[in-house]
Amino acid sequence: IAGITQAPTSQILAAGRRMTLRCTQDMRHNAMYWYRQDLGLGLRLIHYSNTAGTTGKGEVPDGYSVSRANTDDFPLTLASAVPSQTSVYFCASSPQDSGANVLTFGAGSRLTVL
């Protein structure tokens, strides 16, 4: 089934540890995105990539980094996790063509930083 796969589904992490959330899509979408979702704040854009080889900063990029070595993969890395990064993280992708460019979301990764 075409779509977006995120891993891990859930993780508990000690503060200060490094963590990479993985995201893979098989729809050959050009653009990919990482959002975090916190109660009362909605979805906030962390980083995005309009095409392989390029990345950009979203609304809340501090403490996170991304890479886009190929079309399918867009990992999100927390270099040194802090408790305020406890959240649900959603990866998304869109075709980035002339159409509506609807975002398709992965199932999410729930991260708890203690």
Partner 1 sequence: GQNIDQPTEMTATEGAIVQINCTYQTSGFNGLFWYQQHAGEAPTFLSYNVLDGLEEKGRFSSFLSRSKGYSYLLLKELQMKDSASYLCAVRDDDYKLSFGAGTTVTVRA
Token output for 88: 């649900």
Return the structure tokens found at 101: 């460019």
Binding mask 39-78 for partner 1 (x = CB under 8 A): -xxxxxx--x-x-------xx-------------------
- Residue 92 near residue 32, CB atoms below 8 Å: yes
Nearer to partner 1, 16 or 46 (CB): 46
Which uninterrupted H or E stretch holds 83? none
Shortest CB 15 distance to partner 1, Å: 25
Q: Are 7 and 109 in contact (CB under 8 A)?
A: yes
Binding site for partner 1 (CB under 8 A): 31, 33, 35, 40-45, 48, 50, 58-59, 90, 94, 96, 100-108
